[in-house]
A = this chain, B = another copy of it.
Amino acid sequence: MKALIVQKDHSIKIEEKAKPSVSKGEVLVKIKASALNRRDQWIREGKYPNIKPSVVLGSDGAGIVEEVARDIDKKLIGQEVIINPNINWGDNPDVQSRDYEVLGMPTNGTHAEYISIPADRVYPKPGHLSFIEAAALPLGGLTAYRACFRHGQIEKDKKVLISGFGGGVAQFAFQFAMAVGAWVYVTSGHPNNLRKAVSMGALKGYDYSNKEWAKNCSFDTKGGFDTIIDSAGGEQFDQLTRLLRPAGRLVFYGATNGLPKTLNLYHLFWRQCTLHGSTMGNDDEFVQMLEFVSTHKIKPVVGSVRPFDDILEACNEMKEGELFGKSVLTF
């Protein structure tokens, strides 16, 4: 089968690899579509610890169960499934265990024609999603779900800011917050993304390259936000905390712009604000996320669809950062 394989020098390459066999407890899924995440690109850039050569990359995928191990119910064969990228979250809903991994390094991932995976990692594909849409959902949807609801406590009529609208998780967070009836605002450095957000229902978008944006935003929102979802960090982080309303929550799941240079503790403690580090989500949250997406008929924003053979081109496009929406590969 074809698979995207990590090389010794961390470069990535499509190679032929033996079709995996199913071990006890596993199912063999014929992948119909897989999707890219920044994680794939970071591994390619050597930015991940313990990168193992010859591993199949890919955390997101959807497909059809083709074969099951003897101890697994045969009824699963033929089922259209979406894959949960969590491995070994563990018993504590608050935080992943030490053995936790994300599918696709060091465990073989979804950028391949087949994946052999424990049966409890596959869930029925939500009925309103195509394989392409379903493949775009798992990692980003899970991360956004936990950030929005466990930590961010977003609900109807809350004022919410999604910073860096454009990234996959941010788009899901935007859709999820809209779905529950929050008042949603966004920031982006790309005017195009701001226009798209408004067309998708955002009340307003702020270009953070405009020095006045935070002041304008505070004025427009009459004092800021109940919840802010951020993955940029950097110098803007402190600015975001100042846009928190009393008892506001800033949830962060990344720091693509590096670390902040200060943090206004006075503002935060007097207003009883909280900052929540968040990454991925537990298995219960994955199930809840699928139900939520099904209930609200949410469809991932897909920015590009390519045949699997063009995956390197797709990776390069993601690196450029100009793509709006998830990048999906199909077999």
Interface residues of A (CB under 8 A from B): 92, 94-96, 151, 233, 237, 246-247, 252-255, 259-266, 268-279
Contact = CB atoms under 8 A, between A and B. Distances in A.
B269 A253 contact: yes
Nearest to A251: B269
Nearest to A150: B272
Q: Is the interface of A mostly helix, strand, loop or mixed?
A: loop
Contacts of A271: 95, 277
Contacts of A261: 261-262
A255 B269 contact: yes
A202 to B, nearest CB: 24
B279 A277 contact: no
A274 B272 contact: no
Nearest to A245: B95
A264 to B, nearest CB: 6
B259 A260 contact: no
Given A94-B247, A233-B265, A262-B259, A275 B275 contact: yes
Contacts of A255: 265-266, 269
Contacts of A247: 92, 94-95
B263 A273 contact: no
26 contacts: A92-B247, A94-B246, A94-B247, A95-B246, A95-B247, A95-B272, A96-B246, A237-B265, A252-B265, A252-B268, A254-B265, A255-B266, A259-B262, A259-B263, A260-B265, A263-B263, A269-B277, A269-B279, A270-B277, A270-B279, A271-B277, A272-B277, A272-B279, A273-B277, A274-B275, A274-B276
A274 B265 CA distance: 14
Contact of A277 (B237, B259, B274): B274
Contacts of A279: 269-270, 272
A207 B41 CA distance: 44
A263 B265 contact: no
B264 A259 contact: yes
Contacts of A259: 262-266
A94 B268 CA distance: 13
Contacts of A268: 252, 275, 277
Contacts of A263: 237, 259-260, 263
A173 to B, nearest CB: 14
Contacts of A151: 274
Nearest to A147: B269
A92 B245 CA distance: 13
Nearest to A257: B265
Chain A to chain B: the 5 pairs with minimum beta-carbon distance, closest first = A269-B277, A268-B277, A95-B247, A94-B247, A255-B265
Nearest to A275: B275
A281 B157 CA distance: 26
A311 B126 CA distance: 71
A174 to B, nearest CB: 19
Contacts of A272: 94-96, 277-279
A91 to B, nearest CB: 12
